Structure 1
Amino acid sequence: MEQGPQMVKPAKPPKQDTRTAAHAADTALALPTDVAGSGNLERLVDTARTYAQAAASDNTRKAYARDWAHFTRWCRMKGISPLPAAPAMIALYLTDLATPTDNSPARSVSTIERRLSGLGWNYAQRGDTLDRKDWHIVSVLAGIKRKHARPPVQKEAILAQDIRAMIATLPYDLRGLRDRAILLLGYAGGLRRSEIVALDFARDDTPDNGGWVEILDQGVVLTLNTKTGWREVEVARGSSEQTCPVHALEQWRHYSKRDFGPLFVRISRDGNRALDARLSDKHVARLIKQTVLDAGIRSDLPEKERLALYSGHSLRAGLASSAEADERHVQHQLGHTSAEMTRRYQRRRDRFRVNLTKAAGL
């Protein structure tokens, strides 16, 4: 008797990894199964997990979480599993990122490199290793760079006359005093926006601080916990009270009636009271863009283009471009490990100050 066609059960889709990086780190940092647990060991494990989570900043972890979510969604659409790490499959993912489709444009080289870093971090949190030196990844990434790489787009530097015009747009109420201190201290210190809002009044004020300030007669010393480690930044007093970052900081401290906890905090809706909540670094970016518009900087351009030109890094680039000082001092202030990195921030510098052509006898 002839049998009819048999139904074939569809293959089960591969199991996807839906764990968050924090949960994956918790799983990886656990006592071995053959070790008997104890109160002391469990506390050490909890502390180790806290340290592991602090290895990257909040913004970095959020970005890496988005990278992992995008990659796992791509794997799900292709019917494959993201685990374990497979360099050949990662190379195909990078290729897809660099290839434009009807639904989305090709990603930039910097975005692709960031995604790759995010995948490496996420695999490490899950106890796996992504070999970024594997031939599949190296060759594909090199080809993407060769074909699609473009010169980096630099943000416009905020120069001395710009910062003076920007702070002139701020009122002398509590919110204006705070924002004036943010702009002047960030500019004179060459600070990142995340470093500005992470400051406390004093050491150990809060568990999540990224540094503290010490106001002295001649200026203020900032102790910063940066991505390269702890360092000190000295900000001296300015030539006038209107543009002095230390005076602006003292005014904010006096009228906010605060001397403990986060240095820069939110203001109540009525504008009359400083709250306890620390500002987000996004406030610094919004503040820069808004005061650039209000001050009429680069008014020759449409508003959208003007907003795109400036960001939090415009403060650091402004200090590097405006400071009439030895390059080594600027490098130290910005916390750069090389002079070449500092020169990338200098929008105005004499590129031919050292004439190697003449020095070579030509």
Structure 2
Amino acid sequence: MTSSSTGLQLEGSGRESPPQLSGDAAARVWEAVDRSTASATKAAYRSDWARFERWCHEQGQAWLPAHPLTVAAYVTEAAGQQRPPGLGESGFAARWRYSPATLARWVSSINQFHTAAGLDAPGRAEVVRRALAGIRRARATPPARRAPLLLDDVKTLLETLRPAFHQWPAGVIARRDAALLLLGFATAARRSELVGLGVGDVAVHRVDGLHITVRRSKTDQEAKGTVKAVPYGRDPATCPPCAYTRWRQLLDTAAGLDPAEQRRPVMAALFQQAGDPGVDGHVCRVDLPAPLNPAAPLFPTVHKAGAVGVRAMSGQAVNEVLVRRAAAAGYPTAQIARLGGHSLRSGFVTEAFRRGADAHAIMRQTGHRNPAILETYAREHAPLVGNAVTRLGL
């Protein structure tokens, strides 16, 4: 019997022979096993395993089953590899090719292939655990955390977008990016959660604002789902339901049309927003029709010519939006380098702490399960909140 996800043969694993199943029954088993792991994780496992196989072949070592000492030698050799210095860097500064986190992931991949074959996981042996611990200790460095985007930052980025709102074709991308910024900040969503939203996942609530269903997340791989509420804002410029409404109007106009057919109607809808008397006021109470395709991505790719795509943005594209908009707003290069998709989520937590919200209230929106994780945000980005140093009378 062969695993469809790993290609490993289960026979000869040292355990009793597997039962004889029909082809359909075996296929159903492996389909269920295959769905237990995210596709991106499976791709990483396969890539890591292929690298380990090549290394073992070069070293004349067995890779299935692999001896714990073989795995320990594999990661310690990789840990010593350095990459040449980049442009402008000192040739004396060590730039390690692989981080401790990468090496730990390699070991996890090796373990996964062994357990899938019914074998003991060599990476769980004490020698491998201690080797990884020694590498982490020797290479201990502060974690590279994303800088938070606070509410004032979001306002600044939105202000740079405003001139493009009624320009063709830049206005289409600007409307999408404005909705992305405000919904990403207000929901404290991970970038994967943002790009995973469908148009049908957002419902307008008469009192609450928006109810956004996040169907799957990093901590909800079984897709139980959760609903995040986004209230109506006081300021039209930062009202998430307003930004959502204007973006939905463009999405609805483009829905079902080929890219070549979108130009005229989408341009008309964009310019109609410019002539709307509510352009400087709230539009979030406008009734929106049911989406033509509820499964269509809420944040799709948009071509520079203004055509709305059918595929969702990637997580990396969210990073690029923040970097591009921050650069347009004149942010320093060093600060831009620390921005990423997580900056919106980090910014929500930091802003909430600074405005007096407690950990429980913040966790209601972020979905964190452990308040100790939030303490990291408070300590690094809101260090004076709840700090006794403010009571010393200095």
| Counterpart in the other structure of 2:129 | 138
Q: Does 1:332 align with 2:364?
A: yes
Please list the CA deviations of residues 247-269 of structure 1 after superposition, one character each: whole Å capped at 9, or x if unmatched: 11111111221522222212345
| Counterpart in the other structure of 1:343 | 375
Rounded Cα–Cα distance in structure 2 between residues aligned with 1:353 and 1:269: 46
Q: Which amino acid aligns with 1:283?
A: A
Rounded Cα–Cα distance in structure 2 between residues aligned with 1:131 and 1:222: 43
| Counterpart in the other structure of 1:37 | 22
| 1:159 paired residue among 150, 153, 157 | 150
Rounded Cα–Cα distance in structure 1 between residues aligned with 2:202 and 2:314: 18
When the two chains are superposed, the root-mean-square deviation of aligned CA atoms in Å is: 2.8
| 2:301 paired residue among 259, 266, 290 | 266
Please list the CA deviations of residues 153-188 of structure 1 after superposition, one character each: whole Å capped at 9, or x if unmatched: 211111111111112223222221111111111111
Query: What are the within-5 Å matches in structure 2 for residues 1-362 of structure 1?
Result: 22-24=5-7, 34-35=19-20, 37=22, 42=24, 44-100=25-81, 105-170=96-161, 171-172=164-165, 173-202=171-200, 212-217=201-206, 218-224=208-214, 225-229=216-220, 230-257=225-252, 258=255, 259=291, 260=293, 261=295, 262-268=297-303, 270-271=305-306, 273-297=307-331, 299=332, 303=333, 305-323=334-352, 324=355, 325-346=357-378, 347-350=380-383, 353=386, 355=388
The sequence identity of aligned pairs, in percent, is 27
Structure 2: where are the runs of 5+ without partners?
12-16, 85-94, 166-170, 256-290
| Counterpart in the other structure of 2:87 | none
TM-score (norm 1): 0.78
Q: Which amino acid aligns with 2:373?
A: M
Q: Which amino acid aligns with 1:311?
A: G
**Does the Cα contact within 8 Å between 1:85 and 1:129 map onto a contact in 2?**
no
Q: How many pairs are equivalent?
A: 317
Tell me how far 1:81 sits from its aligned partner.
2.8
SS at match of 1:22: coil
TM-score (norm 2): 0.72
Rounded Cα–Cα distance in structure 1 between residues aligned with 2:303 and 2:159: 23
Tell me how far 1:83 sits from its aligned partner.
1.0
Rounded Cα–Cα distance in structure 2 between residues aligned with 1:332 and 1:187: 14
**Does the Cα contact within 8 Å between 1:24 and 1:125 map onto a contact in 2?**
no
Q: Which amino acid aligns with 2:172?
A: L
Q: 1:45 to 1:183 in 2, by over 3 A?
A: farther
Q: Which amino acid aligns with 1:317?
A: S
Rounded Cα–Cα distance in structure 2 between residues aligned with 1:125 and 1:193: 31
Tell me how far 1:21 sits from its aligned partner.
7.6
